[in-house]
A = this chain, B = another copy of it.
Amino acid sequence: MASSPLFSMSTMKRDSFVMKTITSNKEFKFNILNKLPVTSPTLLLTGENSLKWGQNESLLRNRMQCRAVEVKNMPGYTTGKKFELDDVIEAQQFDRETLNAIFEVAKEMENIEKNSPGSQILKGYLMATLFYEPSTRTRLSFESAMKRLGGEVLTTENAREFSSAAKGETLEDTIRTVEGYSDIIVMRHFESGAAKRAAATAGIPIINAGDGPGQHPTQALLDVYTIEREIGKLDGIRVGLVGDLANGRTVRSLAYLLAKYQDVKIYFVSPDVVKMKDDIKDYLTSRGVEWEESVDLMEVASKCDVVYQTRIQRERFGERIDLYEEARGKYIVDENVLKVMQKHAVVMHPLPRLDEITVDVDADPRAAYFRQAKNGLYIRMALLKLLLVGW
C-alpha cells in the first residue's frame, strides 16, 4: 500500500486500500461469474476509473482488475469481514482493541486440530517467504502456521542471492514479480524500512518478519500474547526487562505495547553499557506508565509477574570482549532467581539463549520461553487468517 499503515481505517491517508483488501488471487472474469458454483462473490471495483458490469474487458488491462472476495461457509468458521490492516509492518499499527481481538483468534488457533474443518481455512492460498537474510526459526514458524491452516508455501531461504537481486533488481521489481506467484508475502530483510517499501508496492498483504535493526512485529505480538496467556491479564502487571535493553528490538517493542495497558509497571535491569534508551523511557512517561531502573535482579524478580530475559549480543561490543564478558555474566536467571519469584510469575526469553538462563530453570513450570516460542505459531496463524480471509 502506498502510505504508512496505521491501524484506524478512518485515519488512513490513502485512496487505494480497497484494492489490496480484496485481493485473494481471485480475479474473476465478468463473463464467468455466473458459472462459479460454490462461491458467493462480492464484487468490488478497484483502480481510478469506475467500471460497470459488462464493460469491455480490455479496460481492465491497466491492473484495474475486478476482484472478488470469496465468502465460503466452512463449519465453525465465518470469514469475510475485512481485517483492519492490509499489512503487518510495525508494532505501532496495533491498538489495544485490535490486539485483544487478534489474541482471541490466536486462542482459536490453539484449538485447531489436524483434519478438522478449521485446518483448511487457508486451503488454496499460497504464501511466499522472501528471506533476504536467513532466520530459520522465524521462517519455520510462519511456514508451519500456513500449513497448519491448509495453505501452501513458496520458500526462498536466501533471497539476497535471488539471482535478480544479485543482478541489481530493485526490491520493488522483485515484489511485483513475486506477488504474481503468491497471495501473501512474508519478508525478512537486512535493511530497516524494507517491509514498508514492499507494502507500498505490493497489491497483496506483506508481513514484516524482521527488517534489520527495525521492526519485528510478530515477535512483539507473541510476547504480549504470552503474558496474557501465562498471567491471565495485561492490566496491572509488573514486568522486569533484563539484559541487553539498548539493542534488543524485542524489549523495546514490548515496552511500547505494554504502554497500551493500565497500571503497568516496568523494571529495567541491565549492565550499564546496554541500558534502555531515553526514547522508550520518555514514551512510557508520556503515557503515564511507571518505570524504574534497578541493579538488583533478585529484588525485581521477587516483585514481578514476568521476568523477561534477553541475550547480550556479542556483535555489539566489537573488540571490547572484556566489556562483553562483564555484561554477559552480570544478570543470570538461575535457580536462585526462581526461588524469590512468585508462584504465578513466569520467565520469558525471545530465544535463542546462551547461558543467561541456566538449563536447570527449564524444568520449572514458570519457565515459559518454549511455550512463548510455540505461541509465535498461534499468533502467525491468526495474522495469516486475518490478512487472507478476514475475521
Contact = CB atoms under 8 A, between A and B. Distances in A.
Given A25-B113, A180-B370, 17 more contacts: A28-B113, A70-B114, A113-B124, A126-B144, A134-B162, A136-B159, A144-B181, A147-B152, A157-B158, A164-B351, A167-B311, A167-B354, A173-B351, A174-B352, A176-B370, A180-B373, A180-B377
A353 interface: yes
A192 interface: no
Interface residues of A, number: 70
Contacts of A124: 113-115, 119
A141 B353 contact: no
A94 interface: no
Interface string A116-136: 100100011110100000111
Nearest to A125: B114
Contacts of A176: 370, 373
Nearest to A180: B374
Contact of A136 (B24, B72, B156, B365): B156
A135 B111 contact: no
Given A141-B181, A169-B353, A177-B351, A113 B26 contact: yes
A162 B136 contact: yes
B154 A29 contact: no
Interface of A: 24-26, 28-29, 32, 36, 38, 61-63, 70, 72, 111, 113-116, 119, 123-126, 128, 134-137, 140-141, 143-144, 147-148, 152, 154-159, 161-164, 167-169, 172-174, 176-178, 180-182, 230, 311, 351-354, 359, 365, 370-371, 373-374, 377
A182 B144 contact: yes
A352 B169 contact: yes
B168 A352 contact: yes
